[in-house]
Amino acid sequence: MLLDAWDLSGITVDLILWAQGADPEVIRSRRPQLVKFAERAMAEVDVFVKPVLVYHEVAAPVLSEDDLVFEDRFSWGGLAPHCFLNADTVVLMVGTIGADLEAKVSALMHVEPAYALAVDALGTVALDVLERAALNYVKVSAAAQGLRVTKPFSPGIAGWPLAEGQQQIFALLDPVEVQAIGLTLLPSAQLHPKKSFSLALGVGQDVQEDGHLHFCDTCALRATCAYQGRHLMA
């Protein structure tokens, strides 16, 4: 299922500044020009950002001691079976804000590098907001049926190698829908456009609920990341 009606009103100037690694309060007093760049970028969000995703729900996997089998065809040995323990179904999503912003950043970097960084940060925030909105969509839909959802799991987290996970998710999605949103899985296992995401989460009455959906908890870099606990939408 292709979904393209998303409200990105959660984007703020402060979040754009945070996405550049800056403290908004400090920047407002010391480098007001950066605030103006962020405001300018935010004013053009509808021009640069085209949020869209593909949503697919599959029957709960068959669980064994060290493996997950989807639709009797796809084995997910890299992801711990307990992640989807008691799930009735598993939701798969891939989403992107489109390629326009990436192209704009590339063009601006040669003529207005400071503004290019603000536009790139806008993309980072927009993708975060889209991902949160998508997760909330699943939660609201599940709650209407008396169900709960697990944490989201993305390829590249500890215990789920990036290349393996990306291939597993894309194998279960409709390639026509994925192509329709302009998303490509590269041989490097990276997504194109860069401002894109992929994830899986379980849905059921008795699943372990998502808590605060804090992505740092499952990140493979959590032990060394300088931004530990500072996920934009945490």
Structure tokens at 155: 């390829």
* Assigned token pair, 84: 């989807």
What are the residues whose beta carbons fall under 8 Å from the beta carbon of 40, sequence distance 6 or more? 115, 118
d(CA 100, CA 81) in angstroms, rounded, equals 38
Average pLDDT (139-147) is 94
Would 172 be classed as within a structural domain? Answer: yes
Average pLDDT, the chain: 84
pLDDT value of residue 213: 45
Tell me, what's the pLDDT at 212? 47
Model pLDDT, residue 207: 81
Please tell me whether residue 33 adopts helix, strand or coil conformation: helix
Q: Which of 71-75, 104-108, 135-139, 191-195 has the lowest mean pLDDT?
A: 71-75
pLDDT in tens, 70-88: 666 556 666 665 677 778 8
The answer to whether position 200 is within a domain reads: yes
| Tens digit of each residue's pLDDT (9 = 90 or more) over 9-42 | 889 999 999 998 878 888 888 888 889 999 999 9
Q: Are the C-beta atoms of residues 98 and 104 closer than 8 Å to each other?
A: no
Task: State residue 70's pLDDT score.
Answer: 67
Q: Is residue 173 part of a domain?
A: yes
The two structure tokens encoding residue 59: 């029957």
Tell me if 104 is assigned to some domain: no
**For the chain, where are the E strands, in sequence order?**
2-3, 52-59, 62-63, 68-70, 74-75, 89-96, 148-149, 184-185, 191-192, 196-204
CB proximity list for 29: less than 8 A, separation 6 or greater: none
Q: How confident is the model at residue 221 (pLDDT cuts 50, 70, 90)?
A: low
pLDDT value at residue 173: 93
- Enter the tokens of residue 85: 């323990």
Tokens in use for 181?
């949103």
The answer as to whether 225 is a domain residue is no
Residue 154 lies in a domain: yes
Question: Which phi and psi angles does 43 have, rounded to 5°?
Answer: -65, -20
Task: Indicate the number of domains in the chain.
Answer: 1
Q: What confidence score (pLDDT) does residue 114 get?
A: 93
On whether residue 148 sits in a domain, the answer given is: yes
Q: Which residues span the domain enclosing 147?
A: 2-7+50-98+124-218
Least confident span in 4-13, 97-106, 128-137, 202-211: 202-211
Predicted local confidence at residue 187, as pLDDT? 94
pLDDT (average), residues 204-213: 70
Give residue 66's pLDDT band: very low, low, confident or very high (50, 70, 90). Answer: low
Q: How far is C-alpha 139 from the geometric centre of its chain's CA atoms?
A: 15
Considering only 63-67, 91-95, 129-133, which range has the smallest mean pLDDT?
A: 63-67
* Separation CA 150–CA 162 (nearest Å): 20
Find the mean pLDDT for residues 146-170.
Answer: 87
How sure is the predictor about 100, in pLDDT bands with cuts at 50, 70 and 90?
very high
The region of weakest confidence among 24-28, 173-177, 218-222 is 218-222
* Distance, CA of 93 to chain centre: 9
Give the residues across from 58 on adjacent strands: 90
Q: Is residue 81 part of a domain?
A: yes
